[in-house]
Chains A and B, each alone.
Chain A
Amino acid sequence: MTAFLSRLLGRLPIGYLQLTHHPGRLLAALAGVAFANVLVFVQLGLAGSMAESVAIPYRLFQPDLLIVSPAESETLSDASTLPRQRLFQALVHPDVTDGTPIYMSRSTWLSGQEASSSIQFFGVMPDAGEFFHDALAAPLIRLSLSDTALVDTLTRFVDMRSFAAAHSEAPVPFEMQNRQLGAVGTVSIGGGFGGDGVFLISDQTFFRMFPQRSSATPSHILLALAPGADPGRVAAELAQLYPPDTVRIRTVTEATDQEVRYQMTERPTGLIFAFGVVIGIVVGIVIAYQVLSADHIREYATFKAMGFRQSFFVGIILEEAIILAAIGFWPGLAFSQLFYHSLAYLTNIPIFMTPERAVAVLIGTIIACSVSGILAMRKLAAAEPADLF
C-alpha cells in the first residue's frame, strides 16, 4: 500500500502513514465518518421515501389534466372539494374528450386489538378505467358490485396476508365506517405521510360510506384530451372558461412535483430531514477535524524548517481526508442499506438506496472531510519552526 501510494503521489504517503500509525484512532475516525454517513443516508432516505410515497398515488392516474379546487390544493389527499359543474364545463372544450370525478376521504380501520390504520378512500367510477393505471382497469370493473373495495396490500400496521387472494368470486369481508365491505381485489400503494394505505371503492359505495359527501362535489376532476392536444395550451384555455381563482389545472406530473416540493420545503417533516442532513454533515466534519488536527505540530514544524511549502501540508491533510472519506463511506453505506431494508420491512414505506444518492453522499463525504482538513490546516499552520531549537 505504501509503495502504491508513493508511486501515486510521487512522495511518501505521509498522511496514510500517520493515520495507520494509530490504528485505534483511525478506527474511531472511520466509525465516526461511517456514523455521519448513516445519519445523512437515513435522512435522505426518509426524504426520498416521502417524495416517493407522495408520488405513488399520483401514479394511479393517467389522465392528461387534473383539476382541483385552489384551496388546500398542495396535496392530493387534503384537497377541498369543487363543484362537479367544472367537469361539465370542461367537456365543452373541443380537445377535452372525456372526464371523471374522484372523491376522497379518510377513515380509521380498527384492524386488531390495538392496531388502527388511517385509510385513504378513493371513490371512483368503475367504468372510468381509462383514467387509471392500465393494471387497474380490470379490477375497477369489479367495484360495480356495491360495498366492495380494492384493498392496499401494503397498508401499515395491518397484516394484509388474508386479503392476498381477494377476488369477486371470493370477497374477503372486513368492516369499516360501520359497514360490511368485501375486498374484491388488491392494489399495492402503501402508506405515505398522509395515511397508512389507500383503498379504492366505487363512487356509489363512497357515498354510502361517507353520507355527508355528495356526488356534486368531487375532490378532483380528471380530464382526458384528444390525441396530440397540448395539455399546457388546453389548461390555459380552460382557465379562461372558469370564473377567476375557482380551479387549479395541472398535468399529473406538475401536480406531483409541486406536492413533493411542498412536502419538502413547507412541511415540518421536510424541514426535519433537511435539518438531519445538516446535523449529519456537521458530525462528520467535527469527527474528521478531531483526527486531522491531531497533534503533529512538531513534525509539521520540522517539515517547514526543511523547506516544505504550505501546499505540501495541504497535500498531506487532503490525503488523510480522502482516505478517511473513501474508507469510512463503505461501512456507512452498508449500515444504511441495512437500515433501509429493516425500515422498509417494518413500516412498508418505500425507502431504498439509489445509485445517485450513494454517489452524491460519497462526493459529499469527501468534500466534508476536506473541509475538516482545511479547518485543521489553520491550526497546523501555527507550527513555528524557530521554536524547535
Chain B
Amino acid sequence: MSDVAITVSGLDHYFGEGDARKQALFDVNLEVGSGSLTILMGPSGSGKTTLLTLMGCLREVHAGSVRLLDQELFESDEITRIDMRRRLGFIFQAHNLHDSLTARQNVMIGLQVHGRGDPARHGEAADHLLDLLGLGERLDYLPGNLSGGQKQRVAIARALVSNPNIIFADEPTAALDKVSGLAAVQLFKDLGRARGTTTVMVTHDPRILDLADRVVTLEDGRVVMDRIQT
C-alpha cells in the first residue's frame, strides 16, 4: 500500500436539481497520508460532512476525483463502493447502535460484514475491544441501558473491531466527557501508529486539535487552511 491513503483532487459537489441546485464543495484538493490523524474543521454548513461522506464512499462522486486506497471513486459503481466500505470504519455523530443488540453483539456486527465466521471468536474480539474502551462490565447491556458516552464508545469499538484501513468520524467525541473523549482520540492515534490506520475526523473540540497530525479548515465549501502539525 502506498503512503497516501486518500487523494482528493478538483472535487466539486452539488446538492439538488435545477433552481434548487446548490454547490456544497468547490475544487477541494487534499492528500491524506497513511496512518495519519487528520481533523476537518470549519463553521456549520461549510461542507465537512459532505467531504467526509464523499471520501467514505457513502455518496457518489460527480465531479473531480477521489482516490481511496488506490481505488478511484469517480464513476465507480455501487458494488465497488459497498465493498470499499468494508475496509473503512465509521463513527457517526449519533451512535446509531442497533437497540435490539447488546453492546457485544453490536460490535460483532462490525466483524460479520466480512462474511461467515465463528461467532464465538467474533464475541471474544468484541469483548476484548470493549474492555479496552472501559466497557468490560457492560458487554451484555442493550443500548437502552447505556449512557450516551458508553453508547458512543460501543460505536467506536464497532468501527475499530474489523481493523479498518481508514476511520471516518463525525464529531465522535461530542457525547463523551473530556477524559474519555481524549482517550478515544488517543486510541485512534495509537492504532494509526500500531496498524497504520488512517483517521479523518470532524470536530469542533479544541482539546483534540493538539493530537492531530494535520488540521484542514473548510469555509463555504472551500479549503481555506491546511496546517500540518508536528
A residues bordering B, Cβ < 8 Å?
Answer: 3, 6-7, 10-12, 14, 17-18, 20-21, 296, 298-299, 301-309, 385-386, 388-389
Q: Are A6 and B119 in contact (CB under 8 A)?
A: yes
Q: Are B90 and A306 in contact (CB under 8 A)?
A: yes
Q: How far is the CA of A3 from the CA of B96 in the complex (A)?
A: 24
Q: Decide: A12 near B119, CB < 8 A? Known: A305-B58, A307-B82.
A: yes
Measured between beta carbons, the chain B residues less than 8 angstroms from A17 are 100-101, 105
Among B49, B93, B96, residue most surrounded by chain A Cβ atoms (within 10 Å): B96
Measured between beta carbons, the chain B residues less than 8 angstroms from A303 are 109, 113
Q: How far is the CA of A257 from the CA of B79 in the complex (A)?
A: 55
**7 pairs of A and B residues whose beta carbons are closest in the complex:** A307-B86, A10-B116, A21-B100, A307-B85, A386-B58, A6-B119, A302-B96
Q: How far is the CA of A386 from the CA of B90 in the complex (A)?
A: 11
Measured between beta carbons, the chain A residues less than 8 angstroms from B92 are 302, 305, 388-389
| CB-contacts of B62-94 with A (<8 A) | 79, 82-88, 90, 92-94
> How many A-B Cβ pairs are below 8 Å?
80
The answer, yes or no, to whether B16 is at the interface (CB within 8 Å) is no
Out of B79, B83, B112, B142, which one reaches A12, CB within 8 Å?
B112
Sample (15) of A-B pairs whose CB atoms are under 8 Å apart: A3-B119, A10-B117, A10-B119, A11-B119, A12-B112, A18-B98, A303-B113, A305-B90, A306-B90, A307-B84, A307-B86, A386-B59, A389-B52, A389-B58, A389-B170
The answer, yes or no, to whether B33 is at the interface (CB within 8 Å) is no
> Can you name the residue of chain B whose Cβ is closest to the Cβ of A384?
B58
Q: How far is the CA of A6 from the CA of B96 in the complex (A)?
A: 22
The answer, yes or no, to whether B110 is at the interface (CB within 8 Å) is yes
Measured between beta carbons, the chain A residues less than 8 angstroms from B52 are 389
Q: Are B85 and A305 in contact (CB under 8 A)?
A: yes
Q: Are B53 and A386 in contact (CB under 8 A)?
A: yes
Q: Are A307 and B113 in contact (CB under 8 A)?
A: yes
- Give the dominant DSSP class at A's interface: helix
The answer, yes or no, to whether B99 is at the interface (CB within 8 Å) is yes
CB distance from A348 to the nearest CB of B (A): 50
The answer, yes or no, to whether B130 is at the interface (CB within 8 Å) is no
Q: Are A389 and B93 in contact (CB under 8 A)?
A: yes
B residues bordering A, Cβ < 8 Å?
Answer: 49, 52-53, 56, 58-59, 79, 82-88, 90, 92-94, 96, 98-101, 105, 108-110, 112-113, 116-117, 119, 142, 170
Measured between beta carbons, the chain A residues less than 8 angstroms from B108 are 12
Q: How far is the CA of A345 from the CA of B192 in the complex (A)?
A: 77
Measured between beta carbons, the chain B residues less than 8 angstroms from A301 are 96
Q: How far is the CA of A386 from the CA of B13 in the complex (A)?
A: 14
Q: How far is the CA of A42 from the CA of B219 in the complex (A)?
A: 68
Q: How far is the CA of A187 from the CA of B85 in the complex (A)?
A: 76
Q: Are A385 and B86 in contact (CB under 8 A)?
A: no
Given contacts A7-B119, A11-B112, A388-B90, 11 further A-B contacts (CB under 8 A): A11-B119, A12-B101, A12-B109, A17-B100, A17-B105, A302-B96, A306-B113, A309-B79, A388-B94, A388-B96, A389-B49
CB distance from A319 to the nearest CB of B (A): 13
Q: How far is the CA of A3 from the CA of B119 in the complex (A)?
A: 8
> Can you name the residue of chain A whose Cβ is closest to the Cβ of B48?
A389
Measured between beta carbons, the chain B residues less than 8 angstroms from A307 are 82-88, 113
Measured between beta carbons, the chain A residues less than 8 angstroms from B94 are 298, 388
> Can you name the residue of chain B whose Cβ is closest to the Cβ of A3?
B119
Measured between beta carbons, the chain B residues less than 8 angstroms from A21 are 99-100, 142
Measured between beta carbons, the chain A residues less than 8 angstroms from B88 are 307
Measured between beta carbons, the chain B residues less than 8 angstroms from A18 are 98, 100
> Can you name the residue of chain A whose Cβ is closest to the Cβ of B90?
A305
Out of A10, A302, A389, which one reaches B98, CB within 8 Å?
A302
Q: How far is the CA of A17 from the CA of B59 in the complex (A)?
A: 30
Q: Are B116 and A385 in contact (CB under 8 A)?
A: no
Measured between beta carbons, the chain A residues less than 8 angstroms from B84 are 307
Q: Are B96 and A298 in contact (CB under 8 A)?
A: yes
Measured between beta carbons, the chain B residues less than 8 angstroms from A388 are 90, 92, 94, 96
CB distance from A51 to the nearest CB of B (A): 46
CB distance from B96 to the nearest CB of A (A): 4
Measured between beta carbons, the chain A residues less than 8 angstroms from B105 are 12, 17
Q: How far is the CA of A307 from the CA of B87 in the complex (A)?
A: 8
Measured between beta carbons, the chain B residues less than 8 angstroms from A3 are 119
Measured between beta carbons, the chain B residues less than 8 angstroms from A304 are 82
Q: How far is the CA of A302 from the CA of B99 in the complex (A)?
A: 12
CB distance from B108 to the nearest CB of A (A): 6
Among B88, B90, B98, B110, residue most surrounded by chain A Cβ atoms (within 10 Å): B98
Measured between beta carbons, the chain B residues less than 8 angstroms from A7 are 119
Measured between beta carbons, the chain B residues less than 8 angstroms from A386 are 53, 58-59
Measured between beta carbons, the chain A residues less than 8 angstroms from B59 are 386
Q: How far is the CA of A380 from the CA of B158 in the complex (A)?
A: 22
Q: How far is the CA of A389 from the CA of B84 in the complex (A)?
A: 18
Q: How far is the CA of A18 from the CA of B83 in the complex (A)?
A: 25
Q: Decide: A14 near B53, CB < 8 A? Known: A307-B83, A307-B113, A389-B92.
A: no
